[in-house]
Amino acid sequence: MIGFFESSEPTQTTKNSQLVWLWVMPLAYTLVEFIFLTLQWREVRFISTDLIVPVLSLLALGLAFQGLELLELKTHFAARLFDVVVAAGLVHYMGVQSTSVIFLFFLNIIMSAFLFGRRSWLITMLSCALLNLVFILSRQELTQSYFLYLVGNQLGFMSINWLALQMSQVLSSLSGRVAIQGRKIRDLKLLNEMIVSKVPAGLITFDNEVKVNFANPSAQLYLNRLQLMKTPPASEWQGSELRVIWPELFNFLVSEDFQNLVVGSVLTFSVSFLDADAEFVEGAVVRLVSENGEKLGWMVFFLDQTKIYKLRERAKRSEKLAAIGQLAAGIAHEIRNPLAGISGSVQLLKSTFKASTDDDQKLMNIMIKEIDRLNGLVEEFLSFVRPDELINDTINVNDIVHEIEQDMMVRRSPIKAHFEYKSTHLVRGNRDKLRQVLLNLVINAEQAMVTLADPNLFVISRDQGDGVEVVIRDNGSGMNAEVKRKLFEPFYTTKPKGTGLGLAIVHKIIEAHRGQISVNSEEGMGSEFVISLPGVSSFDNVEFLDDSEAVRSGFGDYSVRKKGGL
């Protein structure tokens, strides 16, 4: 009825439940009882007119006390006892034969057992029994037979309520266990979600029809970064076919090895993406089955091994270059000596035979020109493999960029050049070598735009963290993925008369300065080279490498990015 709760601090959900018990149930009972009493009074079968007023007064008093409970007055214990008094008063006026009134005793006792425990149950039960006995004896003369009836009645009354207590304790214990298990399940679910969502590896599960039903954030980020996921968006992955989201992996999964995958075994795989600048993935596929052996689908766990893949390629390239460098350096020296002899002999012949014909003079000039070209090629190659003098100057990159601008003005280059000087940090290194790098890249950009009606070149120096970035961007012919992959390899060139050493030397110089160079290019969209150099404060914390070390260690870890703005 009213006042079934102790003055502990309930949660908001528990508090709302208490209000339901404290108000709705007593109100419902009062209305039902009022209707019942009205019908009984009109038919004059059970209750007289004189009893209607006190009975309804008791019900109204109970409701009034209920209002105090709703105001959260600290009267819970007194309210519980008051419920018992109200119930006993109704028994007194209406008689013990009224089943609906006797129900109030059971309601108070059972609710005390369920909501408050043994002590509250015992107090409520004894109060009900005592008041019930007092009010009954006040209306009935005590005889021997009636005494035995009362004893049996009270024993039955207490037995029923004792069973209610045992049931409440069992239910309380079970609800406690359920709450503990529920909390453990929630904790395990939270831990599982945290592991799956935070692990840096990609995780994808799909059903027997190879349709995705789950992909963790790492998988989504990785595939989005590669721009392999054309459709649908990440928010609509569930139910999408794997061949749409990751066609390379789908082709592997429909292979014979994958189709013959035995339950409980793990199949490892590796996938490379030639259209994504040599991205490389390694992973494993596991068959998912239910407890009864039903096949549910597959789980793919994969890691981005691109950096490791590039390190392996760098090691292979380093070994190759070491062998080529040692061999070619010896050959270059052997070629250089005969060239010097041939050049001297031709010069002597040219100066000696003054009377020779014009055709003879032209032939000698061609010979001298080709000898000089061969000698220049040898010098360029020796420059690539020869350790240079270590210089550790403090350099303002803006000064070098300004010199490049002045050089273009002197040469009266037809290119529309745009120079910006935004860097404020200084770098350390060989000033002449860095100027050679920028000049080489600018000349390459000019050559890529010779056929354009509106060629534009942008050279920008800017700060990047503690270091400096130099961006050289053109709107020339651009490069495809194959050219980009081989761009910094020695002897690789796309020019009819190129040696293939220019960009290899550029990369070697940048690596010797502990920097990085990246290219961003698409066919028909122009090219963008980005040079990153550590600032003076960062550079002072590392050992300065000479060019020979750079050659021995390969050509560095350069990145290739998609076309984008500065």
Query: How confident is the model over 271-282, as pLDDT tens digits?
Result: 665 444 556 777
- The topology under which CATH files domain 393-552 is Heat Shock Protein 90 (3.30.565)
Tell me which of 449 and 154 has the higher pLDDT: 449
Whole-model pTM: value is 0.46
* Pairwise pLDDT comparison (170 vs 78), residue with the higher score: 170
State CA 524 to chain mean position distance. Answer: 35
Residue 474 β-bridge partners: 457, 527
pLDDT band at 542 (very low <50, low <70, confident <90, very high): very low
DSSP-based three-state secondary structure for 474: strand
Q: What are phi and psi of 5, to 5 degrees?
A: -125, 145
The two structure tokens encoding residue 94:
């209406």
Q: Among 300, 301, 320, which Cα is nearest to 312's?
A: 320
Q: How confident is the model at residue 93 (pLDDT cuts 50, 70, 90)?
A: low
C-beta separation of 526 from 478 below 8 A: yes
In angstroms, the CA 165 to CA 158 distance is 10
Cα separation, 462 vs 436, in Å, equals 19
* pLDDT the model gives residue 12: 45
Percent over 70 (pLDDT), the chain: 55
Cα separation, 127 vs 135, in Å, equals 12
Nearest to 383 by CA among 497, 490, 533: 490
* Confidence (pLDDT) at 163: 75
Asked whether 217 and 201 are in contact (CB, 8 A), the reply is no
The Cα 289–Cα 292 span in angstroms is 8
What mean pLDDT value characterizes the chain? 70
Q: What are the residue boundaries of the structural domains of the chain, listed by start?
A: 12-181, 202-304, 312-385, 393-552
Residue 235 carries which side chain, given as an amino acid letter?
S
Average pLDDT of the residues in 188-203: 81
Give the chain's length.
566
Q: Give the Cα separation of 297 and 213 in Å (integer).
A: 10
547 pLDDT above the threshold of 70: no
Specify the pLDDT at position 544. 41
With beta carbons less than 8 A apart as the criterion, state whether 192 and 141 touch: no
Least confident of 64-68, 256-260, 526-530: 64-68
pLDDT the model gives residue 545:
42
Of the candidate CATH numbers 2.60.40.10, 3.40.1180.10, 3.40.50.300, 3.30.450.20, the domain formed by 202-304 belongs to: 3.30.450.20
311 vs 34: which has the higher pLDDT: 311
> Which residue from 70, 69, 111 is spatially nearest to 87, judged by alpha carbons?
111
Q: Please state, in angstroms and rounded to a whole number, the distance separating the CA atoms of residues 218 and 382.
A: 47
